[in-house]
């Protein structure tokens, strides 16, 4: 099935998907962390072996966590992640395409990698996501600002938890609670005079 949207370098997109049959795609903290790691490690033009093999070979511990930062920082990113929110049965991403076919390549790596991990962990097979991820082009700055707020507060919108307490979204980075070095929020934050605003 061909996609109706053509991804253009330098443009912003809202990417989202949910579990097949609305099933949960994140069961516990380990799943959320694995998806976040996928967003970080797979976001590069260079090929990346599976995270499982990478972790196993390097036996990642505190002293080698910087290896991920070095690996990713020296690479050319496929997209800039502006904000994200991971909820039990779906996710939202706001991204800017950095290279030709960046969104498609990034989402392919993340989708395949996370599905393989989840199916192996849960001893299941078959599709994890409800079809191909959905994408909407963001053509106006007003819509970009609206979507950043919608995505960051999505847990609250769905009645799960107050946005400031939901640790699986970029909101905590936006308000300065912690920094994971995953997102590029300045396209949003530079449009305001202060964090409070």
What is the residue-level pLDDT of the chain in tens, covering all 197 positions? 456 789 999 999 999 999 999 999 999 999 999 999 999 989 998 877 777 665 665 554 444 555 555 555 567 899 999 999 999 999 999 999 999 999 999 999 999 999 999 999 999 999 999 999 999 999 999 999 999 999 999 888 888 876 667 789 998 888 877 777 899 999 998 998 877 77
| Strands of the 90-97 sheet, one edge to the other | 79-87, 90-97, 12-18, 134-138
Question: Are the beta carbons of 38 and 111 closer than 8 angstroms?
Answer: no
What is the pTM for the complete model shown? Answer: 0.86
Write the CB contacts of 89 (distance below 8 Å, at least 6 apart in sequence). Answer: 18, 19, 22, 23, 24, 25, 26
Structure-block tokens of residue 52: 């499982």
Count of beta carbons in the 10 Å neighbourhood of residue 48: 18
Does the CA dihedral 6-8-12-16 come out positive or negative?
positive
Mean pLDDT over each residue of the chain, to the nearest integer: 86
């Amino acid at each position: 099935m061909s996609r109706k949207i053509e991804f253009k370098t330098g443009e912003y997109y809202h990417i989202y998907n949910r579990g097949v049959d609305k099933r949960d795609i994140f069961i516990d903290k380990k799943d959320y962390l694995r998806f976040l790691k996928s967003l970080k490690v797979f976001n590069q033009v260079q090929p990346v072996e599976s995270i499982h093999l990478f972790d196993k070979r390097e036996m990642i511990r505190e002293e080698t966590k910087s290896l991920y930062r070095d690996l990713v920082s020296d690479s050319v990113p496929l997209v800039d992640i502006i904000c994200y929110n991971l909820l039990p049965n779906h996710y939202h991403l706001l991204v800017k395409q950095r290279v030709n076919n960046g969104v498609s390549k990034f989402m392919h790596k993340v989708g395949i990698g996370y599905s393989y991990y989840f199916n192996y962990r849960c001893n299941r097979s078959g599709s994890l996501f409800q079809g191909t991820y959905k994408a909407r082009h963001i053509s106006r700055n007003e819509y970009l600002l609206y979507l950043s707020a919608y995505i960051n507060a999505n847990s609250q919108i769905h009645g799960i938890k107050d946005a400031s307490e939901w640790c699986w979204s970029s909101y905590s980075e936006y308000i300065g609670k912690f920094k994971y070095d995953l997102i590029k929020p300045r396209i949003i934050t530079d449009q305001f005079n202060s964090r409070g605003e």
